[in-house]
Structures are given as C-alpha cells and as structure tokens.
Chains A and B, each alone.
Chain A
Amino acid sequence: MISWPNLVSQLFNGLALGALLALISSGLTIIYGTLGVLNLAHGAMFMIGGYAGFVTYQYTESFILAVIAGSLFVMLLGVVMERVIIRHFYHRPHEDQLLVTFGLGICFVELVRLLFSSQSQIVPPPALFQGITNLGFMFYPTYRLAVVGIVAIALGALFIVLYRTRLGMIVRAGIEDSVMVDSLGINVYRVFMIVFGIGAMAAGFAGIVNAPVVSLTPGIGDDILVQTFVVVVIGGVGSFPGAILGGLIAGEIISVTSMFNPGYAYVMLFAAMTLVLVVRPHGLLGVQGRE
C-alpha cells in the first residue's frame, strides 16, 4: 500500500499542514513571548477566522474578500479581547491567564455553535485554484499546493514585520525583556495590544485559508490548538523560527504517520515532543530561561 506517489503526496500534505501549523504557532508564540500570556483561545481564533470568511463569502462570493474580512475580523477580536480582558491578567499568575483564555475559547466556540449550529459549512476554493494539478509524477489538488504558497507569503510578511520594521524590533526586544522596553519610554501596553492583534490575525488568516481544505465546524480549532502546543514545545516558546521548524516537523509527522495508521499520528507527535523535551528541554530553537 506504500507507493512512491502515495508517499510523495503525503509529504505534500505534511508540507501544507506544516505551513499552516507554522503560521498559527507563530501567532501563539509571539503573543506568549511578548505578553507572557498563553492564549488558550487561539484555536477558537483559528475557527472564527474560518467562519468570518465563510459569512463574507456567502455575501460577496469573493474568496479574496473572505480572506481579508476573516483576518481583519479576528484581528479586531484579538484587540478587543486584549483591551477588555487580557490586560487585567498581566500581573496575575499564569494559571489565571490560562483559565480565562480557556473560558473565552469555550465562549467563542459555543457562540459560533449557537449561530451556525454544529453542522459543517463549506467554503469552496477560489476558481483560480480549483481542480487538480499534474505534477508530472502525480496528481495533486491545486488548492492544497496554493495553500503552501499563500501561507509561505503570509509567513514572509510576518517575518518582514518582525525583523524589518520598528514595531518588529520592539516586539523582539519585548520578547527578550519587556520591562526594559517599558523603561526605554516605549508604551509596551500599546505594543501588547498590537501584538495580540497580529498574533490573532495569524490564526484567523490560517483559519480561512484552511477552510476550503476541510469543512468548518465549531470544534475545528480544538485539535489545531493541541497540535500548535506540540509545535511550540518542539520549536521553543517565543521563537518565530522555532515555530516554523516545529510546524513543518509536526506537519510531516502527522501526514506520514497517517499514511500507515491515522490512529498513531498523535502518538508519534507525542513521541517527538518527548524526545525534544528530553534532549533539549527548551525546544529546538528555544532560549534557556524562558518559562
């Protein structure tokens, strides 16, 4: 049953999933790195991105608009969430931050369930990327190929923001030491808000881009959240390159294992995570001392 085309196509699937996980994890990890808050509602942000895009698509029939609206809506949601609730938790223990974001995640999921029911919704891929592509040695769904490209562009954009702009410099400095950034006269709380918005947008963008590959359900973000955690543990908390590396590793592990037996996908993922924890407790590209 293991044939070369099959393996290659699974590797491609792994790449697509890995790129997606990399994007979502980058959002999670820059939020955590800068604000010190692990957002357990991140999976719900991913889900809401999909639904916001879905609604836009219903009205406009335009996939591009759906992507833009989905991302912007989640960014706005992130900003509001940070302003109204999260900022009151910066000085509270980690457990409280986990509890409140966990609770918010449940509220989001249940709200969407109330509005759209538990039935799955479908967003078709844009006309340009419909059908399948002949890669010479195998046929592969065009949109999945496109996902890799789209996500790569998004990651590139995130890279430019983080490493080539003033804001990015502040964010990276904040990951190192946010107290110091604050003392330098930079309003870190405003930066926190922007970072939360960008991090949420990364998840929302991934959510709508991923929507044509799967079908939307309110619980779609739960599994993704767990996978994202594994990615961050493997890559190292607070590390953007770590999130990308971890995402690709996790994506390939899930896809290749699924080829043999999907039931073992998580077991292998977990084994990889354990291995990393034993060999490099701070993650592959993580920095010591960040907890």
Chain B
Amino acid sequence: MLKQRPFLIETLTAIGLIVAPFVLPHLGFAPNTVNRILVWGLFGLGFDILFGFTGLLSFGQSAFYGTGGFVAAYLLTRTGFSNVLGALIIGMIAAAATGYLIGLIALRRTGIYFAMITVAIAEVFFFVEFNPLSDFTGGENGLPGVPTPSFNIGFTTIHFTNGWSLYQFIALCYFIGVIIALRIVRSPVGAILSAIRDNPLRATAVGHNIHGYKLTAFVIAAAYAGFAGGLLGVLQAFMPPDAFTFDTSGQLVMQTAIGGRGTLFGPLVGATVWLFLQDFLQSALGLGAAWKLVLGVVFVLLVCFLRGGIVGGLVDLYGLVSGKRARKAAETEEADVETPQAPPAPMQAKEVAHPVYSGPILKATGLTKRYGGLVANSDIDFSVNQGELRGIIGPNGAGKSTFFKMLTCEIAPTSGRIVFEGRDITGLKVTDVCQLGLTKSYQVNQLFTGLTVRQNLTIAALAELRGKFRLDLFRSLSGVKGLTEQVEHTLALVNLTRRADTPVSELAYGEKRRLEIGLALATSPRLLLLDEPLAGMSPRERVETVKLLKSIARGRTMIIIDHDMDSLFELVERVTVLQEGKVLVSGTPEEIKTNAAVQEAYLGGVHGEIAA
C-alpha cells in the first residue's frame, strides 16, 4: 500500500497536516494535544522502521528520546546556544551515535534477548540521568526554559511560539520525517529490512550482511527518537526527566501496536487514540486514574484480535472490498492465455573475478564434521570441475546435507579445507561465500513468506547487484541498475511470472519449491548447490523441474542432492555416493548403477557389513 502512485502518500500527508488546524479544534483537540501527537508520531516513525519493518521489538527507545531531548535542551538552556533547529539536530546526532554504540551490544542477540537487553539499557539511562549526570540534566527537576524556534529570513523574523503557531514548525518536522521514512522504506535497504523480519537466515544466505542492516535500522530509530525528544522540550518549554522512564518506551510500543505496525502512520494513529482516550476517559467519563486500565485492556484485545492494529485493520478491510476481486479477475484472465513456451535463455552467472584460474571450481580436502561423539562427515575429499553437473546420493543420514552446509560455510567443519575457484573459503561467513558466487537452495523451503514472489527475488538479486552492505537509503528500488531485468528473468526462468505479485503464503507447494531455486538463482551463482530440489513434487512437477534444472545448468556448475535417482541420473554427468559420512564411490551414472557397493548400501547390508 505504500508504493503504487508516486507521491500519493506524501501529498495526502501534506494535505492532512495543512487541514488539521482547521478541522481538529471542532473535534475537541487542543493545539497542544495535536502537537504532542505529532511528536509521538515522529518518535514512532523511526520506531516503526525498527519494529514494524525490521521486526526488532525494542523496549528501550526512551534512552534515545531522552538523550536527544536533554542534549538539545542543555545546549539551549545552559550554554547560550540559541539556534533551536541546530540544537535539535545536534541532539538527534547525539542520539544516533548513542544508538550506534548501544546497538553494537543489544544486536549481539535477537528475539527476546534483544527485548530484555533494550529494557535493561533504558533503565541504565534513566538512572544515569538522575544521578551521575544530574548536574547536566537537572536531575529530577529536568531542564526548564527551553526556547521556541525563530528564524530570521532577512526582512523579518518568524517566531513559532506556542499552540497553532508552534504547530507549523512541528508539522513541518513531521512532514520531513515522513518523507525521509518513506524514502528509506522504499529503498533497497528498506526491502532488505523486511526480508530480515521475515527470514533472517535466508537474508544472510543470499548474501546480505544483516547485522549491518539491523544496526542501520537501530540507528535510524535512535535518530528519530532523538529529534522527537528535542521537540518535546521545545513544545513544553521544559525537558522533563520522565522522558527517560520505561513508561515512555512502553507507551511508544503500545501506541505503535494500537495504530498498526509496519505502516509508518500507525504510531501517529496510536498516539491520537491514546491521548484522546486519556482526555476523554479522565475528564468526560470521570474515570480518573482508571483510564490507563481501560487502555491496557483495549491494547490486549487489539493484540489478540487485530494484529495489524487500526491502520492494518483498515488496510485489510479496504483490500477485502476492492483488491481481492481485482486480483482474482486478473489471474483467471492470465491463466487462459498461458501456453507452454520454451524456457527463456539461461541467466548468466556472475562474472568470474579472476578468469585466469582454470582448476577445479570446488575442491574440498579432508572435510570432517563431528557433533560430540557423532561423526556426520569424515575425511571427505571432493572435487568438481568448471561447468560440471554433479549428483550426490546416499541413504538417509549419510551426511549429505551436512556436507552441503559445510561447503556453503553455514556450519564450520571440524577439520579440512574448502577451496572455491582457487581461493580458500574455509571459515568464511555464508554471506561472503554467496557474494563470491557459491550458494545453495534449501532442502526445506527458506522463503520470505510475508512478501510476494517478486519481492522475494528482489531481495536475492539486490545482494548480487549491491554487494553485502550498502547504505543507499534514499535510492528507490527502480534506481538499482539491472534489478528489474534480473528479477523478471529469474521469474521467467522458474516459470512464476504469472504469480509475481502473489504473496508466498498463497503459493502451491511446487511453486514454492521453484521459488526456492529461484532465490538461489537470482544471486547469479557460478556454483549452485541444490539440496533435494525434487523432494515432495508430483511426477509431473518433477519432469518440469528437471527441465528447469537442465536449462539453468548451461554456463554454471551445479551439485545436486536428491533421492529421485531416475531424474538425477538423467540430469548429471557424475555421481558421488555418500554413506555414513564418507565418500563410498564416485563415477558416471552408469558405473554407479552397476556398482555392487552402492547396491549394498541402498539395499541395507545384505552381507552383514552395514547391519551392525
């Protein structure tokens, strides 16, 4: 919903902000309340990028809100610094810098650990503000006397004092905040952030440095928080110490969840509901202190029954009414014109970095993996030539998947070396190995299930086109050179063009399997490992997939694990048989078919060797 028409959302936001002062007073909103809502909304823009888009739920945003606020307020009240906007920006930078340092610690862990660590950090900031730094922050008194902004524009001075006058300034800040947030969300970085939320494992495997991107999101959230904190001081003419309390973080989290996460405007809506209900319940209904209980109950009910919050609910409703019908129609229409067509030309593999190299593309020596006493792989020597199509078979538990995981550096071998194109990759990270041109498709689908097919492939293609980490926060996705071509090409190759804008969750199993291969393909690997690409497919799907694999094999090297020997033997040139973690034999499909040791391994120890 955030992308169809250019500048639609920007325009609507601008109109909304301009109209607000003329409409809201009639609805009983005091200007001061509106200003507070905007400050919370601005605070929440950054938080939504962190929580809604990246999936990192922080309960410690008060640390940055307070830091930005107090740095700005200190500059303005204690040092004689008089440029309000300058102070706000310095506060924002201070908060972002703090966010960077804190992020280095908090992002060492994910999930609930991350939540717990952020809570603890925020509490530290609260105590530091009150005690060791009370000379600078005024301790429990806060910093009174924060001035309001004024701008000298040559012939006259504009002074934003309070109420609707100050609103103009805050609304402008909010508007700029929205524009920046929208740019970020629509940038390649934004796309990768949602990939991290959906499936961090795969985002890493297709070649993104997700730690760097998470830290980016954390710093962005801290910067927004810092600026909003500064605005709070300006708005109240006083920087309150309770900006640092856990309640501040909690309120932000609740407002975002009430309004709708991942929508950017959710926090603003949530803040409106919150402040309106607070006024309404307290004064109109005379509930006094019980208002927060009512809000708490509303919040719990929303989390239980309306996961997307108010904005999310409205979007779903809108989608139900209009979108579904349109898409259904489009899909059936296209289904009619579907004709079997020749598969498109195979995609080029990544340019070889050092074309002079001409040894085996992959060479593993003495590869061993032990899990405690269990030896999954022992002393495997394995070598694949450029352009070869190699199959790996072996009974269940032979250590095939472990072997693949070691080759792609998902797990580190206990001993042994892996050399890819003459370069020792042992001990590298899976991200770097993928960037070098070696990746795999997974045995169990690892897709970005919340995104569409096209978005999935975009994530993978971005890794190839942009490298593992790049901060092009303000570039639009369409500005990435070659992205559209690569995505469209991969779509055609895995025969999913028709389903490009379907969410992954609505795909059939066979389609998901093809997308799984497509994700690996979109990174343009020179060596592609496929872990049971045919598993779970119907016979007809198998035939199609074998055709697909043949077509992508041109110009690249592939190693395929599968249990479907008929298909595999038809596809590959050589086969390696693994058994009990060791290489049993290697040879052409014909040799393998007639090999006595292989037959024995599969039929289960007729001669008693393996039965033990």
Binding site for B on A (CB under 8 A): 32, 38, 85, 88, 92-96, 98-100, 102-104, 106-107, 110-111, 113-114, 118, 222-223, 225-226, 229-230, 232-233, 237, 261-267, 269-270, 273-274, 277-278, 281, 291
Contacts and interface: CB of A to CB of B under 8 A. Distances in A.
Nearest to A222: B246
Interface in B63-83: none
11 contacts: A85-B304, A94-B115, A95-B55, A106-B250, A229-B120, A232-B116, A263-B132, A265-B127, A267-B124, A269-B124, A277-B108
Nearest to A264: B132
Contacts of B124: 266-267, 269-270
A264 B105 CA distance: 19
Interface stretch (B206-214, B287-295, B526-534): B287-295
A99 B266 CA distance: 15
B310 to A, nearest CB: 15
Contact of B246 (A100, A226, A277): A226
Contacts of A94: 57, 111-112, 115
A104 B289 CA distance: 17
A38 B109 CA distance: 15
The 5 A-B pairs at the shortest CB distance, nearest first, are namely A263-B131, A110-B293, A229-B116, A107-B296, A103-B300
Contacts of A113: 289, 293
In this complex, the member of B51, B124, B290 whose beta carbon has the largest number of chain A beta carbons within 10 angstroms is B124
A9 B67 CA distance: 36
Given A107-B296, A266-B127, A273 B57 contact: no
Contact of A277 (B51, B105, B128): B105
Interface of A is mostly: helix
Given A96-B303, A226-B246, A277-B109, A264 B131 contact: yes
Given A265-B127, A291-B110, A106 B296 contact: yes
Interface of B: 51, 55, 57, 59, 105, 108-113, 115-117, 119-121, 123-124, 126-128, 130-132, 246, 250, 253-254, 257, 289-290, 292-293, 295-297, 299-300, 303-304, 307
A265 B120 CA distance: 12
A283 B391 CA distance: 42
B117 A233 contact: yes
Nearest to B251: A106
Given A226-B246, A262-B131, A103 B108 contact: no
B261 to A, nearest CB: 8
B371 to A, nearest CB: 12
Contact of A107 (B109, B119, B127, B293): B293
A58 B110 CA distance: 45
B298 to A, nearest CB: 9
In this complex, the member of B105, B123, B299 whose beta carbon has the largest number of chain A beta carbons within 10 angstroms is B123
Contacts of B55: 93, 95
A98 B112 contact: yes
B330 to A, nearest CB: 31
Nearest to B51: A95
A267 B289 CA distance: 33
A264 B111 CA distance: 28
Nearest to B292: A110
A229 B119 contact: yes
Contacts, number: 125
A98 B57 contact: yes
B131 A38 contact: no
B253 A237 contact: no
In this complex, the member of B57, B130, B132, B307 whose beta carbon has the largest number of chain A beta carbons within 10 angstroms is B57
Nearest to B291: A110
A284 to B, nearest CB: 14
Given A99-B303, A263-B131, A114 B120 contact: no
A229 to B, nearest CB: 4
Contacts of B289: 110, 113-114, 118
A142 to B, nearest CB: 31
A114 B293 contact: yes
Given A95-B51, A263-B128, 11 more contacts: A85-B304, A98-B115, A99-B257, A102-B59, A106-B299, A110-B293, A230-B120, A263-B127, A263-B132, A264-B131, A267-B128
A285 to B, nearest CB: 15
Contacts of B253: 99, 102
B292 A106 contact: yes
Contacts of A88: 304
A225 B246 CA distance: 11
A119 to B, nearest CB: 12
Contacts of A265: 127
A274 B105 contact: yes
A281 B109 contact: yes
Contacts of B121: 270
A88 B119 CA distance: 25
Contacts of A270: 120-121, 124
A225 B121 CA distance: 13
A272 to B, nearest CB: 11
A62 B121 CA distance: 40
Contacts of B296: 103-104, 106-107, 110
Contact of A100 (B111, B116, B303): B303
Contacts of B120: 226, 229-230, 233, 269-270, 273
Nearest to A274: B105
Contacts of A85: 300, 304
A44 B124 CA distance: 21
B304 A291 contact: no
Contact of B131 (A93, A114, A226, A261): A261
B30 to A, nearest CB: 25
Contacts of B300: 85, 100, 103-104, 107
Nearest to A88: B304
A62 B585 CA distance: 79
In this complex, the member of A102, A265, A267, A274 whose beta carbon has the largest number of chain B beta carbons within 10 angstroms is A102
A104 B296 CA distance: 7
Given A94-B112, A110-B296, A113-B289, A103 B123 contact: no
A237 B292 contact: no
A277 B59 CA distance: 18
B254 A266 contact: no
B307 A110 contact: no
